[in-house]
Chain A
Amino acid sequence: MIQACLHCGDPIPPLSDGGEGFCCKGCAGAYNLVNDLGLTTYYERRTLNPDVKSLRPEDDELLIDYRRHVLSEKGTNTLYLMVEGIHCAACVWLIETALARQEGVIQARVNMSTRRLVLKWTDEEIDANRLVSIINDLGYRLVPYDPSLMNSENEKSEKELLRAMAVAGFATTNVMLFSVSIWAGGQDMSIVTRDLMHWLSALVALPAVAYAGRPFFRSALTALFAKRSNMDVPISLAVILAAGMSLFQVIQGAEHAYFDSSISLLFFLLIGRYLDRRARGRARGAAEQLLGLNCSGVTVLNKDGTKSLLSAEQVEIGMTVLCTAGERITVDGTILDGQSDVDTSLISGESVPTPVSINDQVFAGTTNLSAALRIKISATGEATVLAEIVRLMEEAEAGRAKYVAIADRVARLYAPVVHILAFATFLYWITLGDAVWNEALLNAISVLIITCPCALALAVPVVQVIASARLMRQGILVKTGTALERFASVKSIVFDKTGTLTLGRAELINHNDIDADQLKIAASLAGASKHPLSRALCRAVPHIGVKSNVEEIPGHGLKSGDIRLGSRAWCGLDKAPVHSGPELWLNIKGQTPVCLKFEDQIRLDAKDIIQRLQGLGYQIHLLSGDRIEPVQKVAKNLSIKNWHAVCSPTDKCQHLEKLNDALMVGDGLNDAPALASALVSLSPSTAIDVSQNTADAVFQGHKLKPVLEVLGVAKKCEKLVKQNFVLAFAYNGITIPLAMAGHVTPLFAAVAMSTSSLVVIANALRLSRGKI
């Protein structure tokens, strides 16, 4: 077994400078620091998460000047930080405790859900940089953020809805209590008691309506000012009129008051709206989390040899940037120093890493694989390849017609009908019906209350909330509101190859042809390297100790004594037969050289899923930026007839414009414009951030099944929404005539309203289980 470092849990490399049990000096230092603070229990409690940044402290100190970000107020200094490297709750405890032990610190609180730290201390003398350095030394990475800029908008409106819901809930239960007594009391109740009950209802309901109705009133007003009507207009009208009319009735000492209808209507609607907002906010939050802390910035080498960390906007042409192995390159530039391999699959779809050395061009969005590079920036901001693609994407997005959600389409038709019916009722009663004006108005209001909104306003959100919760459990994050509806109308599906149909990483394919001992030797060398082929080899031959004295020559290979592992040139085998994919050669002195062949493997279930999708009647297309040969191979393997290789981002866009109702599934930067121009789009969570941002939904995991799943759920969702509309309209068909005839009492309204809502919710709940 490979020995794991006591601090960070990474395997210990053969030549460790950290001493016994540690992978590096930094880890040894961090371990001692934890010991000195008396917090050693941390190591017993934690569970390391392989997806999170390793706890190894960075050797090269990055200079973020935290002092600039300190907010001082009344002797309290506050620093807002995002923390990278939180593995579990024990990390939270370690960070909080380590900071709390520092003098002057009055608050150190990590929010584990959002990975944010709020640090407060009193003493002006304390240097923020020194304070924060403790946490940096433990291996976490801290990036300051501006709390006013982080998506507080969404959180705020979510909280407002929750508050409104709490108030409406409180008022509903209490008003219902009074109403039930009135209904139960019937004729036996004295008029004085009844009026008392009515007045108490008014006392509770009116302020509650005024407070809890604000989200609806606001949206209705906005719509009216824009000369449109949405679902919130009849809702607001019904609630306000019902409350106002009831107050008038109570003043008159009349028999019926509709406070309970008015407030319970609000309560039901707020539940729907809150769930809707929360499900979406959560999916979006999770999607942001997936993108990681991308604002970590660019490491710039200053002229005097020091390093500083700048944000992507601050860098200028001519600066020298350091990019370590495994890091994503964030600028366009030429290589000044270093030799490495660059993974360009996210930009071009090319599946084999390209070796690069001095004077080669590299582009933002690619990943530096094997060794540190010094890059001279040749373009920034708008001039980079990345910006070019983003621009293409924005154009595609603007060209896409704005999709109107089904609920809004229904509301557009429905809202005027409701208003006209209510108005007609009023007219009828006041003219032909011989009613006094307040009785006519009462009938009109009961039409408004009865008709609308409850079941109808719940019809869509409840189904969508349950659908996105179900998808989220399966690792699919639906980010945009109308995405599910658009998924349901998809007719053709366009796949990208590298990273979408395939896993986007090389796997050893010929282990059966190779002698087991030689494989073990190769793996023992590979363990010392972070090159993707070495890592693939280690995955294929696990649990092999790392050989000592392995030397890595970037761009060529590995060497240990007489054993060489690396490119054909490195092993001196230029004339060996060529393999179409990536390869490694193992050359042990005195033995025949062995070729280890690798291939970007197709996702395990891709063949099955593609077949099932074709069986469901979807047209499948494959568009890739990769060379013809590998694309053809994948297409043949998966029996996809429509395939195109060597597609530029513009080509992909054009292809999509020809197809209507297409779903685009892609991960690369070259797919981003296509993702934006498709009817609806899906990205794996391994995709580049731009693509994940553009895609309507993001899926996690190694399988392609989510594509089938999301389409299935969307179809089911559409069906349920339609059923719900039918249910809601059927209920209206029965109750509207009754309301217009003036037969609706408060008791009737309350019962009808709750049953229709419950029926709609129960129908939607059918989606949460069962097979698609």
Chain B
Amino acid sequence: MESLLYLIPVALFLGGMGLAAFLWALKSGQYDDMEGNASRILFDDDDSPFPPESPRK
């Protein structure tokens, strides 16, 4: 039964991470333009307009 003592927190923590990641993705606008992002992936890296680390809202 002692395993519960760390398995439960681990389960909650992992689930919480997933939730946080989703909320972050939603907030940072990852779901704003599904159509555009679907096509964007087809562009080559070397001609992407901004380096990947450039600031985004």
Report A's interface with B, CB cutoff 8 A: 39, 41, 88-89, 92-93, 96-97, 99-101, 106-114, 118, 159, 162-163, 166-167, 170, 173-174, 177, 193, 196, 200, 204
Contacts and interface: CB of A to CB of B under 8 A. Distances in A.
B54 A107 contact: yes
Contacts of A111: 32-33, 36
A107 B33 contact: no
A167 B33 contact: no
Nearest to B55: A106
A101 B12 CA distance: 46
B36 A112 contact: yes
B36 A170 contact: no
A100 B15 contact: no
Contact of B54 (A39, A99, A106, A159): A106
A173 B15 contact: yes
Contact of B22 (A41, A89, A108, A166): A166
Nearest to B51: A100
Nearest to A174: B15
Given A112-B33, A113-B33, A162-B26, A170 B16 contact: yes
B8 A89 contact: no
B15 A163 contact: no
7 closest Cβ contacts across the A-B interface? A89-B39, A112-B36, A100-B49, A170-B19, A111-B33, A96-B49, A97-B49
A567 B55 CA distance: 61
Contact of B39 (A100, A112, A177, A193): A112
Contacts of B16: 170
B53 to A, nearest CB: 12
Interface string B23-57: 10010000111111001101100010110001111
A44 B11 CA distance: 50
B50 A107 contact: yes
Contacts of A101: 49
Contact of B49 (A41, A99, A114): A99
Nearest to B42: A89
A107 B35 contact: no
Nearest to A96: B49
B8 to A, nearest CB: 6
A170 B49 contact: no
Contacts of B56: 107, 109
B39 A88 contact: yes
Interface of B: 1, 4, 8, 11-12, 15-16, 18-19, 22-23, 26, 31-36, 39-40, 42-43, 47, 49-50, 54-57
Contacts of B4: 193, 196
Nearest to A116: B33
B12 A159 contact: no
17 contacts: A39-B47, A41-B47, A89-B43, A92-B40, A106-B54, A110-B36, A111-B33, A113-B35, A159-B26, A163-B26, A166-B22, A170-B18, A174-B12, A174-B15, A193-B1, A200-B12, A204-B12
A159 B15 CA distance: 21
A412 B8 CA distance: 43
Contacts of B22: 166
A196 B4 CA distance: 10
Nearest to B5: A196
A200 B12 CA distance: 10
Contacts of B11: 174, 177
B40 A89 contact: yes
A729 B26 CA distance: 37
A205 B16 CA distance: 13
Nearest to A178: B8
Contacts of A88: 39
Contacts of B40: 89, 92-93
Contacts of B18: 170
Contacts of B26: 159, 162-163, 166
Contacts of A162: 26, 31
Contacts of B49: 93, 96-97, 99-101, 108
A200 B35 contact: no
Given A110-B36, A173-B15, A204-B12, A166 B23 contact: yes
Contact of B50 (A100, A114, A170, A200): A100
B36 A113 contact: yes
Contacts of A174: 11-12, 15
A166 B19 contact: yes
A428 B26 CA distance: 48
Nearest to B40: A89
A332 B4 CA distance: 78
Contacts of A108: 49
Contacts of B19: 166-167, 170
B28 to A, nearest CB: 12
A277 to B, nearest CB: 14
A166 B4 CA distance: 25
Contacts of A110: 36
Given A112-B35, A162-B26, A93 B43 contact: yes
A38 to B, nearest CB: 9
A110 B32 CA distance: 11
A118 B47 CA distance: 20
Contacts of A113: 32-36
B35 to A, nearest CB: 4
Nearest to B33: A111
Nearest to A159: B26
Given A100-B49, A109-B56, 8 more contacts: A89-B43, A113-B33, A113-B36, A159-B26, A167-B19, A170-B19, A193-B4, A196-B4
Contacts of B57: 107, 118
A89 B36 contact: yes
Nearest to A113: B35
Nearest to A170: B19
A173 B43 CA distance: 38
Nearest to A192: B1
Contacts of B31: 162
B32 A92 contact: no
A113 B16 CA distance: 31
Contacts of A193: 1, 4
A111 B37 CA distance: 9
A114 B32 CA distance: 9
Contacts of A177: 11
A340 B50 CA distance: 48
A16 B56 CA distance: 44
A96 B4 CA distance: 52
B36 A92 contact: yes
A93 to B, nearest CB: 6
A107 B57 CA distance: 9
Nearest to B41: A89
Nearest to A111: B33
B10 to A, nearest CB: 12
B23 A163 contact: yes
A92 B23 contact: no
A123 to B, nearest CB: 15
Contacts of A173: 15
A166 B22 CA distance: 8
